[in-house]
Structure 1
């Protein structure tokens, strides 16, 4: 085992633990490390690993899933995927990433200033569209989902976001496989990393019920803010 692969395994364990506990953060933690060690495994291996992780989180708290919200988000996400592809033809990757990063940071600021809210179908649908656009164009789709559920019960946020991620990952993997953008190398790499993922999932099971709503909302805002900053910084370096 190389040092680089050992670092990847440790990172995947930590990321699975964090997402299994809070419902977010896996890609944000893993992508920077994987990009340095094995950039060819992005996004294929990452998406393969997120399938069992999000299936587990959604199944663990299945009764808490907001099916209505997830349905509208999925519809919006499907449309947003094609909008994202269209936008890629209009904007350079540099400007698109900058817009996503700045917009995410502004959304966090607005969330801090706005009172608590209960999202309706328009908010869910728009969230799905934005998620589809940003994930298709930049690979980052978590912040919009977590922001719209920031005032929801902890179990609802974790399970619903996991279900939305799961559906989106299936769509993304199907498109990538059919277009031959990914293949056996990404799947085999994910299989080698699977033990670390499972250990992180098991560790999260021990403490996920101890996370309170106030703590999780702060985590959501920090996560979204960090995502926006990472996008801007990495874009500026590229």
Structure 2
């Protein structure tokens, strides 16, 4: 019972952060759930992210720029297939170390402060890494977030929401067909929906009282610590 409550609390906070910052569900929730209830990673967490990115896509679709996004989608396809292939041959202890290492890399990418140019080539490259990390860990936001960090907010939200919507759908299909995911993941996702919707709904209220930069720093700190524990334990 306590585990169920903690899982839903983690998902609620992650969904709230996603609504506030445009990212956070995977980077905050996935490493904590991997330590507490590893059955939620990656399948159910990808489905959770799919629900929220669908909501974001509906909200921001009018600002989408297809030329940039199409290159990111192509790169993401390559990354998803690479992650699924690797996951099909790893045992759990190897996957745990890979998961932790990728989370740590995602956090480091988020704090580097680099300013890559928003170009078709960089969209393709970032798409590969985000697709790979998103499928392997359900926390693939860092590479694409780094690329779009200085883009106009409406363009950033529209392009990223459509990219991650596609990556989550494609990644889930590949994992399902590869036997890595199944009906149990769907059931865990359905149990998560109330917490996700409550967290998403709370984001508007919370955003009026808490600075986004402090929340972003908290996500990165928690994710880094959990990722490091996954590697070392």
TM-score (norm 2): 0.79
Distance 1:202 1:96, change over 3 A: closer
Structure-2 change in CA distance of 1:172 and 1:209 (3 Å) = farther
Q: Offset at 1:81?
A: 2.9
Give 2:164's aligned residue.
165
Cα contact 1:118–1:151 (8 A) shared by 2: no
In 2 relative to 1, CA 137–14 (structure 1 residues): closer, same or farther, beyond 3 Å?
closer
Instruction: State the TM-score, normalized to the length of structure 1.
Output: 0.78
Task: Give the whole-Å Cα distance in 1 for the aligned partners of 2:179 and 2:80.
Answer: 18
Shift of residue 80 of structure 1? Answer: 2.5
CA deviation after TM superposition for structure 1 residue 154, in Å:
2.3
Per-residue CA deviations over 1:23-67 (Å, capped at 9, x if unaligned) read 101012222332244322221211222222110012112222332
The residue number in structure 1 matching 2:194 is 195
Is 1:235 the counterpart of 2:225? The answer is: no
Change (3 A) 1:227 1:39: closer
In the TM superposition, residue 160 of structure 1 has moved relative to its aligned partner by: 2.1
- Quote the Cα distance in structure 2 between the aligned partners of 1:145 and 1:174: 21
Distance in 2 between the 1:14 and 1:7 partners? 11
List alignment gaps of at least 5 residues for structure 1.
none
Shift of 1:231: 3.4
| 2: CA distance, partners of 1:230 / 1:61 | 32
Instruction: Find the counterpart in structure 1 of residue 32 from structure 2.
Output: 33
Unaligned stretches of 5+ residues in structure 2: none
SS at match of 1:61: helix
Larger Rg: 1
